[in-house]
Structure 1
Amino acid sequence: MDATGSPAINSVAINPIIRGREEGERRWFFGGGVHIWKAKAEETGGAFMMFEDQMSGGKMTPLHTHPDSDETMFILEGEILVHMDGREHRVGEGGLMVAPRGVPHAFMVTSPHARMLCLHTPGCCQAFYWDASTPLDAGAGGGAVDFGKVQESARRNGGIVLLGPPPFGSH
């Protein structure tokens, strides 16, 4: 119990984090998209990790699960099509998608570009994202999509299980 009588959630001391819109380490994710890291797992005592994902239209993910973390996506700009539990859902600006751990899902950007916050609780799959990306200088664009590097990072680091190709037909 904490001082208020509530159950203690995390006994690891966490330092305050304050970052502006463009602040945070920038990385090109080999699956497509620029990640701007807002909170790393080591900054939150492992409770969560969060990054902003800036993506171009047409970017899609393979069908996958995160076996040990829940993935939450809040759409800041644009629209994505989410495939979850065999159904497709459009999620636009201000919308939210939560994929509980172990639930197969994928998404595709259907607008010309999209920005979203991606939150993993707990922050246990950070090694996957880190190893499947490379640092970018401020203001720099992305690089080449390389799903081989994404698959290799998944194999080495865990945090994600790739189940198959993107499940989207023609949209």
Structure 2
Amino acid sequence: MATLGTTVRAQGTGERRWFCGGGVHTWLAGEGETGGAYLLFEDELDAGKVTPLHRHPDADETFYMLEGEVRLHVAGDEQILAAGGIAIIPRGVPHAFAVTTPTARMLCLQTPGGGEAFYRQASEPAGAGEPPVPDFGRVRAAAAATGAIELLGPPPF
């Protein structure tokens, strides 16, 4: 059994990646650092960002809102998740969200790990300048290649 090292990361020092359709992920703890136990990232979101209806077949997903709010669609039910709120979505449950404020920030935790390959393939390193044009074909290809996410349909909003 491998022994994991300690990870200490100051604010803003995690790997930053542009993710399709209006957001930057800052990776706080990758699967390699957690022995595959989880993936944790902060998601900075822009107004109008929506996700397709999807599910994670092998991972539970938890959102903790730091700022702003999203309209969350889980298994056909919709509600607003605002700063300080938490949503725990078990594996296999269809869900999507739409940002309803000018900006929003949330922590996203996936347990166990396993989704990192999807997020890497569907994103690119964030640097200075404008975000790339959303490429949903890239997201579909990453989903098909990794199996970490199943795209079920368009945003339900």
Length-normalised TM-score, structure 2: 0.95
Partner of 2:132: 143
Q: Which residue is 1:102 aligned to?
A: 92
Q: Distance in 2 between matches of 1:141 and 1:95?
A: 30
C-alpha displacement of 1:13: 2.4
Deviation at 1:140, TM superposition (A): 4.9
Q: Is the 8 A contact 1:31 1:150 kept in 2?
A: no
Specify the SS of the correspondent of 2:32.
Answer: helix
- Structure 2 partner of 1:58: 48
Match of 1:5 in 2: none
Pair 141,99 (structure 1): closer, same or farther in 2 beyond 3 Å: farther
CA RMSD of aligned residues (A): 1.2
Larger CA Rg, structure 1 vs 2? 1
Q: Which has the higher strand share?
A: 2
Q: Which residue of 2 aligns with 1:72?
A: 62
Question: What is the rounded CA distance, in whole Å, between the counterparts of 1:74 and 1:140 in structure 2?
Answer: 28
Equivalent runs, 1:1-171 vs 2, <5 Å: 12-137=2-127, 140-168=129-157
Listed as ranges, the gaps of 5+ residues in structure 1 are 1-10
Contact 1:34 1:141 in 2 (8 A): no
Q: Deviations over 1:110-164 (max 9, x none)?
A: 0000011111001111100010000123x55522111111011001111000000
CA distance 1:26–1:141, shift in 2 (3 Å): farther
* Aligned AA (2:153): G
When the two structures are superposed, what TM-score results if normalisation uses the length of structure 1?
Answer: 0.88
Give the number of aligned pairs: 157
SS of the aligned residue for 1:37 comes to strand
- Aligned mates of 2:47, 2:67 — CA distance in 1: 12
Amino acid in structure 2 at the alignment position of 1:149:
R
* Range that drifts further, 140-149 or 126-135: 140-149
Identity fraction in percent: 53
